[in-house]
Amino acid sequence: MLIGYCKKKENYQPVYTALIFIKLVKNMYPNHFKWMPYITNVNPTGANHLDKLLGIKNSEALFELPMITFLKKVEQITTVRNWEDEIKAFLLYS
């Protein structure tokens, strides 16, 4: 996936873009970047908030990957393919 200008708003991927932005900031300012808890009503300690948002454990480890590997992994976790097939086992009704 290319990073850059998006001609159609339907093609814009905000989560993918935000994760790349975080990775770039972390890489550019490693001495100033620090993961912090994000306290909410449903997550009162704020711990592992990104894990909860992305639905994957240890999500902060993604940002330690080399950029090419990071991009491939982020594309994999943010792209919805065969959604109907993937959720079929969890449906109450079909």
Q: Is residue 8 situated within a structural domain?
A: no
Would 6 be classed as within a structural domain? Answer: no
Position 63 confidence tier, pLDDT thresholds 50, 70, 90 = very high
Residue 83: inside a domain: no
CB–CB of 64/70 below 8 Å?
no
Confidence band of 44 (pLDDT split at 50, 70, 90): very high
Helix (H, G, I), strand (E, B) or coil at 37: coil
Q: At what angle do helices 67-78 and 14-28 cross, to 10 degrees?
A: 160
pLDDT reported for residue 93:
82
User: How many domains is the chain partitioned into structurally?
Assistant: 1
Q: Does residue 20 sit within a domain?
A: yes
pLDDT tens digit sequence for 3-42: 566 788 888 889 999 999 999 999 999 999 999 999 999 9
Residue 26 lies in a domain: yes
Enclosing domain of residue 17:
13-78
Q: What is the pTM of this model?
A: 0.79
In a domain, 87, yes or no: no
Average pLDDT over residues 47-71: 95
- Tokens in use for 51? 């894990």
Residue 74: burial class (beta carbons within 10 Å; 0-12, 13-18, 19+): buried
Residue 71 within a domain? yes
- 61 is a domain residue: yes
Mean pLDDT score, 53-76 = 95
